[in-house]
Structure 1
Amino acid sequence: MKSMNTLRKGYVVEYECESGIVRAGKREWKIEEGSYLYVGSCEKSCTGRLSRHLAPQVKRKRWHVDHLKELCTPVSALVLPLTEQELVGKLPTERALSKFGSSDYPDHAGHLFQMGLVEALSHLLA
Protein backbone atom coordinates (compact mmCIF):
# COMPACT_ATOMS: atom_id res chain seq x y z
CA MET A 1 0.00 0.00 0.00
CA LYS A 2 1.31 3.47 -0.87
CA SER A 3 1.93 5.90 1.93
CA MET A 4 -0.19 9.06 2.07
CA ASN A 5 2.87 11.09 0.96
CA THR A 6 3.01 9.32 -2.43
CA LEU A 7 -0.71 9.26 -3.18
CA ARG A 8 -2.16 11.87 -5.51
CA LYS A 9 -4.07 14.33 -3.39
CA GLY A 10 -6.39 17.21 -3.95
CA TYR A 11 -7.03 20.11 -1.65
CA VAL A 12 -9.53 22.86 -1.07
CA VAL A 13 -8.87 26.31 0.38
CA GLU A 14 -11.73 28.40 1.71
CA TYR A 15 -11.53 32.17 1.28
CA GLU A 16 -13.61 35.03 2.67
CA CYS A 17 -13.80 37.74 0.03
CA GLU A 18 -14.79 41.37 -0.32
CA SER A 19 -16.61 42.35 -3.49
CA GLY A 20 -14.56 43.54 -6.44
CA ILE A 21 -12.88 42.50 -9.66
CA VAL A 22 -9.97 40.04 -9.85
CA ARG A 23 -7.77 40.47 -12.92
CA ALA A 24 -5.23 37.93 -14.15
CA GLY A 25 -3.70 38.54 -17.55
CA LYS A 26 -6.47 39.33 -20.02
CA ARG A 27 -9.18 37.71 -17.86
CA GLU A 28 -11.26 39.22 -15.10
CA TRP A 29 -13.81 37.83 -12.70
CA LYS A 30 -16.43 39.56 -10.58
CA ILE A 31 -16.14 38.53 -6.94
CA GLU A 32 -19.12 39.08 -4.66
CA GLU A 33 -18.72 39.39 -0.91
CA GLY A 34 -18.77 35.98 0.76
CA SER A 35 -17.15 32.57 0.86
CA TYR A 36 -15.26 30.95 -2.01
CA LEU A 37 -13.60 27.56 -2.34
CA TYR A 38 -10.55 26.93 -4.51
CA VAL A 39 -9.74 23.38 -5.65
CA GLY A 40 -6.18 22.32 -6.49
CA SER A 41 -3.79 19.38 -6.48
CA CYS A 42 -0.61 18.52 -4.64
CA GLU A 43 1.06 15.30 -5.67
CA LYS A 44 3.98 14.60 -3.34
CA SER A 45 3.84 17.29 -0.70
CA CYS A 46 1.06 19.74 -0.02
CA THR A 47 3.07 21.92 2.36
CA GLY A 48 4.55 24.27 -0.23
CA ARG A 49 1.35 24.58 -2.23
CA LEU A 50 -0.82 25.34 0.79
CA SER A 51 1.79 27.71 2.24
CA ARG A 52 1.48 29.78 -0.94
CA HIS A 53 -2.31 29.91 -0.59
CA LEU A 54 -2.21 30.79 3.09
CA ALA A 55 0.54 33.44 2.84
CA PRO A 56 -0.74 37.03 3.04
CA GLN A 57 1.17 38.00 -0.14
CA VAL A 58 3.33 36.35 -2.81
CA LYS A 59 6.36 37.93 -4.50
CA ARG A 60 5.25 37.04 -8.00
CA LYS A 61 1.68 36.38 -9.08
CA ARG A 62 2.02 33.20 -11.11
CA TRP A 63 -1.42 31.57 -10.92
CA HIS A 64 -5.00 32.86 -10.99
CA VAL A 65 -5.40 32.12 -7.30
CA ASP A 66 -2.49 34.46 -6.44
CA HIS A 67 -4.65 37.36 -7.63
CA LEU A 68 -7.36 36.53 -5.07
CA LYS A 69 -5.19 37.97 -2.29
CA GLU A 70 -6.25 41.48 -3.34
CA LEU A 71 -9.83 40.80 -2.21
CA CYS A 72 -9.79 37.52 -0.29
CA THR A 73 -8.37 36.11 2.92
CA PRO A 74 -7.79 32.35 3.32
CA VAL A 75 -9.63 30.95 6.33
CA SER A 76 -9.20 27.17 6.07
CA ALA A 77 -7.59 24.44 4.01
CA LEU A 78 -8.23 20.72 3.72
CA VAL A 79 -6.23 18.00 1.95
CA LEU A 80 -8.29 15.07 0.70
CA PRO A 81 -7.39 11.67 -0.80
CA LEU A 82 -9.22 12.62 -4.02
CA THR A 83 -7.70 14.03 -7.18
CA GLU A 84 -8.32 17.59 -8.27
CA GLN A 85 -10.53 16.25 -11.07
CA GLU A 86 -12.59 14.15 -8.64
CA LEU A 87 -13.10 17.13 -6.33
CA VAL A 88 -14.17 19.44 -9.16
CA GLY A 89 -16.49 16.73 -10.49
CA LYS A 90 -18.37 16.57 -7.19
CA LEU A 91 -19.00 20.33 -6.92
CA PRO A 92 -21.86 22.07 -8.74
CA THR A 93 -20.57 23.59 -11.99
CA GLU A 94 -23.09 26.43 -11.80
CA ARG A 95 -21.25 27.73 -8.71
CA ALA A 96 -17.83 27.84 -10.48
CA LEU A 97 -16.31 31.11 -11.69
CA SER A 98 -15.85 30.44 -15.39
CA LYS A 99 -12.35 29.17 -16.19
CA PHE A 100 -10.80 30.51 -12.97
CA GLY A 101 -7.79 28.37 -12.10
CA SER A 102 -8.58 25.66 -14.62
CA SER A 103 -6.17 26.46 -17.47
CA ASP A 104 -4.81 22.90 -17.37
CA TYR A 105 -8.32 21.47 -17.70
CA PRO A 106 -10.24 23.23 -20.50
CA ASP A 107 -13.24 20.94 -19.97
CA HIS A 108 -13.66 22.09 -16.33
CA ALA A 109 -16.05 24.97 -15.61
CA GLY A 110 -13.52 26.45 -13.17
CA HIS A 111 -11.69 25.68 -9.93
CA LEU A 112 -13.03 28.56 -7.81
CA PHE A 113 -16.52 27.99 -6.46
CA GLN A 114 -18.82 30.47 -4.76
CA MET A 115 -19.44 28.47 -1.59
CA GLY A 116 -17.90 27.81 1.80
CA LEU A 117 -16.20 24.67 3.06
CA VAL A 118 -19.20 23.35 5.01
CA GLU A 119 -21.45 23.50 1.94
CA ALA A 120 -18.71 22.00 -0.23
CA LEU A 121 -18.27 19.07 2.15
CA SER A 122 -21.94 18.16 1.70
CA HIS A 123 -21.17 17.65 -2.01
CA LEU A 124 -17.72 16.09 -1.57
CA LEU A 125 -18.84 13.50 0.98
CA ALA A 126 -22.10 12.57 -0.77
Structure 2
Amino acid sequence: MTIEDKVNFILLLVLILTIIFTLNALVNMKVHLFKSVIDRKINRLDKLDTLGKYNILLENVEHYIELYPDEINFHWRKARALYKTEQFELAREHFLFIADSEPTLKSDADQYIERINAKLGA
Protein backbone atom coordinates (compact mmCIF):
# COMPACT_ATOMS: atom_id res chain seq x y z
CA MET A 1 0.00 0.00 0.00
CA THR A 2 1.47 3.32 -1.06
CA ILE A 3 1.50 6.48 1.01
CA GLU A 4 -1.10 7.96 -1.32
CA ASP A 5 -3.38 4.96 -0.66
CA LYS A 6 -2.91 5.37 3.09
CA VAL A 7 -3.76 9.07 2.91
CA ASN A 8 -6.85 8.33 0.83
CA PHE A 9 -7.92 5.68 3.35
CA ILE A 10 -7.49 8.11 6.27
CA LEU A 11 -9.45 10.79 4.41
CA LEU A 12 -12.22 8.27 3.75
CA LEU A 13 -12.36 7.41 7.46
CA VAL A 14 -12.50 11.09 8.39
CA LEU A 15 -15.32 11.62 5.89
CA ILE A 16 -17.30 8.67 7.27
CA LEU A 17 -16.84 9.83 10.87
CA THR A 18 -17.85 13.37 9.91
CA ILE A 19 -21.03 12.08 8.29
CA ILE A 20 -21.86 9.94 11.33
CA PHE A 21 -21.23 12.86 13.70
CA THR A 22 -23.39 15.20 11.60
CA LEU A 23 -26.27 12.72 11.43
CA ASN A 24 -26.09 12.15 15.17
CA ALA A 25 -26.15 15.91 15.82
CA LEU A 26 -29.18 16.33 13.53
CA VAL A 27 -31.08 13.54 15.25
CA ASN A 28 -30.36 15.06 18.67
CA MET A 29 -31.53 18.48 17.48
CA LYS A 30 -34.75 16.99 16.15
CA VAL A 31 -35.44 15.22 19.45
CA HIS A 32 -34.96 18.43 21.43
CA LEU A 33 -37.05 20.51 19.03
CA PHE A 34 -39.79 17.88 18.96
CA LYS A 35 -39.94 17.79 22.77
CA SER A 36 -40.11 21.58 22.91
CA VAL A 37 -42.98 21.73 20.40
CA ILE A 38 -44.97 19.12 22.31
CA ASP A 39 -44.36 20.89 25.63
CA ARG A 40 -45.70 24.16 24.19
CA LYS A 41 -48.83 22.39 22.91
CA ILE A 42 -49.38 20.73 26.29
CA ASN A 43 -49.03 24.11 28.03
CA ARG A 44 -51.67 25.58 25.68
CA LEU A 45 -54.03 22.73 26.46
CA ASP A 46 -53.44 23.15 30.19
CA LYS A 47 -54.29 26.87 29.94
CA LEU A 48 -57.55 26.03 28.15
CA ASP A 49 -58.30 23.47 30.87
CA THR A 50 -57.65 26.03 33.59
CA LEU A 51 -59.98 28.49 31.86
CA GLY A 52 -62.67 25.82 31.51
CA LYS A 53 -62.65 26.07 27.70
CA TYR A 54 -63.11 22.35 27.21
CA ASN A 55 -64.71 22.47 23.75
CA ILE A 56 -61.78 24.45 22.34
CA LEU A 57 -59.40 22.13 24.17
CA LEU A 58 -61.10 19.10 22.57
CA GLU A 59 -60.81 20.63 19.10
CA ASN A 60 -57.12 21.39 19.57
CA VAL A 61 -56.20 18.11 21.21
CA GLU A 62 -57.87 16.12 18.45
CA HIS A 63 -55.63 17.85 15.93
CA TYR A 64 -52.56 17.23 18.10
CA ILE A 65 -53.42 13.54 18.42
CA GLU A 66 -53.59 13.30 14.63
CA LEU A 67 -50.11 14.83 14.42
CA TYR A 68 -48.61 12.91 17.36
CA PRO A 69 -50.69 9.74 17.88
CA ASP A 70 -48.19 8.19 20.30
CA GLU A 71 -48.02 11.17 22.65
CA ILE A 72 -49.97 9.90 25.68
CA ASN A 73 -50.14 13.38 27.26
CA PHE A 74 -52.53 14.49 24.53
CA HIS A 75 -54.75 11.44 25.11
CA TRP A 76 -54.75 12.21 28.84
CA ARG A 77 -55.89 15.78 28.30
CA LYS A 78 -58.58 14.65 25.88
CA ALA A 79 -59.89 12.07 28.34
CA ARG A 80 -60.04 14.64 31.14
CA ALA A 81 -61.82 17.19 28.96
CA LEU A 82 -64.36 14.56 27.91
CA TYR A 83 -64.88 13.71 31.57
CA LYS A 84 -65.32 17.37 32.52
CA THR A 85 -67.88 17.87 29.74
CA GLU A 86 -69.72 14.79 31.02
CA GLN A 87 -69.08 12.75 27.90
CA PHE A 88 -68.49 9.78 30.16
CA GLU A 89 -68.64 6.94 27.62
CA LEU A 90 -66.01 8.55 25.40
CA ALA A 91 -63.93 9.54 28.41
CA ARG A 92 -63.97 5.96 29.68
CA GLU A 93 -62.75 4.68 26.29
CA HIS A 94 -59.83 7.08 26.39
CA PHE A 95 -58.96 6.32 30.01
CA LEU A 96 -59.02 2.60 29.20
CA PHE A 97 -56.66 3.25 26.30
CA ILE A 98 -54.37 5.24 28.59
CA ALA A 99 -54.43 2.55 31.29
CA ASP A 100 -53.42 -0.06 28.71
CA SER A 101 -50.83 2.11 26.98
CA GLU A 102 -48.97 3.80 29.81
CA PRO A 103 -48.26 1.92 33.05
CA THR A 104 -47.25 5.10 34.90
CA LEU A 105 -50.72 6.58 34.33
CA LYS A 106 -52.67 3.37 34.94
CA SER A 107 -53.66 4.04 38.55
CA ASP A 108 -54.80 7.60 37.75
CA ALA A 109 -56.75 6.41 34.71
CA ASP A 110 -58.31 3.60 36.78
CA GLN A 111 -59.55 6.18 39.31
CA TYR A 112 -61.34 8.07 36.55
CA ILE A 113 -62.74 4.82 35.15
CA GLU A 114 -64.14 3.94 38.59
CA ARG A 115 -65.75 7.38 38.91
CA ILE A 116 -67.26 7.09 35.44
CA ASN A 117 -68.60 3.61 36.16
CA ALA A 118 -70.17 4.92 39.36
CA LYS A 119 -71.78 7.85 37.53
CA LEU A 120 -73.11 5.57 34.78
CA GLY A 121 -74.17 2.87 37.22
CA ALA A 122 -72.02 0.27 35.46
Instruction: Indicate the TM-score class for this superposition, using the shorter chain for normalisation.
Output: under 0.3
Give the TM-score normalised by structure 2. Answer: 0.26
Greater strand proportion: 1
Tell me which structure has the larger Cα radius of gyration. Answer: 2
More helix, by proportion: 2
Which structure has the higher relative contact order (CA within 8 Å, separation 6+)?
A: 1
Report the TM-score, using the length of structure 1 for normalisation.
0.25
